[in-house]
Structure 1
Amino acid sequence: MAVKALLFDFDGTLLNTNDLIIQTFMHVLNERFPGQYSPKDCLKFIGPSLKQTFNDIAPGEEEALIAKYRAWNIEHHDELVSQYPDVVTTLEQLKAQGIRLAIVSTKRNDTIDRGLSILGATHLFDVRIGTDDVKNVKPDPEPVLLALERLGIDKEDAIMIGDNSHDIEAGHRAGVRAAGVAWAIKGEAYLQQYQPEYMLQHMTDLFDIVKEG
């Protein structure tokens, strides 16, 4: 099996948005449920879609809470995100080797684009799949399968890479191999429970994985 395409989650995988996400949730939840949530509580909200999360927390109020979340998140986005080591240089080298690159995220496309712009990586991705493109988000396989279709790549030639159980499960349900990232905020041990084929200690580990196929 050759590796012809790498599919990446975005938040917490390519761009460190953990502080942004946690602070945004705290802003919204403290207003609606004063004193009931801590930053640690917000870790479980990293991964699922906003609709899923707010539907669980406050059924019937999700649209209003999502609107508040997005407004604060966009306002503070650029100041609260940061880069992981060697992400862009690794992606550039992989693309130069002929590897196709895609984003498969549970974010809206405009927010993905904003993050890619901050990374300086917009030009590196052949395909990006956000919530605007699908009916069912990860862990459903639909976003992964759509990315493969748009890339024109067979599932055995792709790897789905992410920092959350949703990424690994979506990959496996789509029939592709999956990789976790050890820099995930929930930790490497958490990801290992979902039995990814690979665990990246560093972004550059992808060079060996691609070479070995």
Structure 2
Amino acid sequence: MSIRTILFDLDGTLIDTNELIIASFTHTLNNHYNLDYTREQIIEFNGPPLIDTFKNIDPDRVDEMIEVYRKHNLSEHDNYVKVFPNVKETLDILKERGFKIGIVTTKMTESVNRGLKVTGLQDYFDTIVTLDDVAHPKPNPEPVIKAMKDLDAVANSTLMVGDNSHDIESGQCAGVKTAGVAWSFKGKERLLRLNPTYMLDDMRDLLQIVGV
């Protein structure tokens, strides 16, 4: 069955928040708590929910660390965030052709809405599933399944697009097709090892995949 529904991760897939995320982790861990994390180590924290990352670092100070991170992230947000190349053009065409499109993210609703507003993407999506909407975030399939339910979509005509292992695994567990993006901060090769159905070198590659 051909693809009719496309679900996107947000950060690192549609909008470039990579440097914001690194700055927020650096501020929290190195500046605020005087820990000594390298940029390479911090890149690895990009993707999983904050609670998982900070639980591994210091289980006793998880809530405190999340608060420091989020405060910095929101105060610096608008200085960093921008849309990746050819995202808007691709979304315009998908909307024109009647595809259902949604977002599935591990971020909270407030920061998702802010990112969409700053980048002018707020009116494109038919559903947005955030950390606030699920009991089990990606890589669990629950968020992808919820988005499909919202859109009356079926797995064999749905595609999940993302820049992180969590996106690919969540999609695979939900039984949908998956696409990695070559501009993933952690590198294309790492995503290819997860055997996504497709790999996008440019967001416009998506149009060819869905037959536009």
TM range (shorter): over 0.9
Residue pair 1:23, 1:39 contacting (<8 A) in 2 also: no
CA drift of 1:34 comes to 2.0
Cα distance in 1 for residues equivalent to 2:40 and 2:34: 15
User: Which amino acid in the other structure matches residue 41 of structure 1?
Assistant: Q
Partner of residue 196, structure 1: 196
Cα distance in 1 for residues equivalent to 2:159 and 2:60: 37
1:18-33 counterparts in 2 under 5 A? 18-33=18-33
The 3-state SS of whatever aligns with 1:89 is helix
User: Which amino acid in the other structure matches residue 92 of structure 2?
Assistant: E
- Could you tell me the percent identity over the aligned residues? 43
1:132 and 2:132 aligned: yes
Tell me the C-alpha RMSD between the 2 structures. Answer: 1.0
Cα distance in 2 for residues equivalent to 1:82 and 1:99: 24
User: Which amino acid in the other structure matches residue 139 of structure 1?
Assistant: P
**CA deviations over 1:45-91 (Å, ceiling 9, x no partner):** 01100010001111021111001110000000000122211101110
1:165 and 2:156 aligned: no
Residue pair 1:171, 1:177 contacting (<8 A) in 2 also: yes
Partner of residue 176, structure 1: 176
User: Which amino acid in the other structure matches residue 64 of structure 1?
Assistant: E
Residue pair 1:21, 1:73 contacting (<8 A) in 2 also: yes
Partner of residue 46, structure 1: 46
User: Which amino acid in the other structure matches residue 91 of structure 1?
Assistant: L
1:36 and 2:36 aligned: yes
Partner of residue 107, structure 1: 107
CA drift of 1:163 comes to 0.3
User: Which amino acid in the other structure matches residue 128 of structure 2?
Assistant: R
Partner of residue 65, structure 2: 65
Which contiguous aligned blocks of 4+ residues in structure 1 show a shift greater than 3 angstroms? none
Deviates more, 1:78-87 or 1:68-77: 78-87
How many residues matched? 212
The 3-state SS of whatever aligns with 2:199 is strand
Partner of residue 156, structure 2: 156
Cα distance in 2 for residues equivalent to 1:167 and 1:4: 19
Cα distance in 1 for residues equivalent to 2:22 and 2:202: 24
The 3-state SS of whatever aligns with 2:123 is helix
**CA deviations over 1:102-135 (Å, ceiling 9, x no partner):** 0000000111111111221111100000000001
What TM-score, normalized to structure 2? 0.98
Partner of residue 11, structure 1: 11
Residue pair 1:139, 1:169 contacting (<8 A) in 2 also: yes
What TM-score, normalized to structure 1? 0.97
**CA deviations over 1:161-207 (Å, ceiling 9, x no partner):** 00000000000000001000000011100100110000000000011
Partner of residue 91, structure 2: 91
Partner of residue 74, structure 1: 74
Structure 2: which 5+ runs fail to align? none
Partner of residue 118, structure 1: 118
Residue pair 2:7, 2:102 contacting (<8 A) in 1 also: yes
Deviates more, 1:32-41 or 1:141-150: 32-41
Residue pair 1:88, 1:119 contacting (<8 A) in 2 also: no
User: Which amino acid in the other structure matches residue 126 of structure 2?
Assistant: D
Cα distance in 2 for residues equivalent to 1:136 and 1:43: 23
Cα distance in 2 for residues equivalent to 1:122 and 1:31: 33
Cα distance in 1 for residues equivalent to 2:6 and 2:31: 40
* Alpha-carbon spacing, 1:68–1:33, altered in 2? closer, same or farther (3 Å): closer
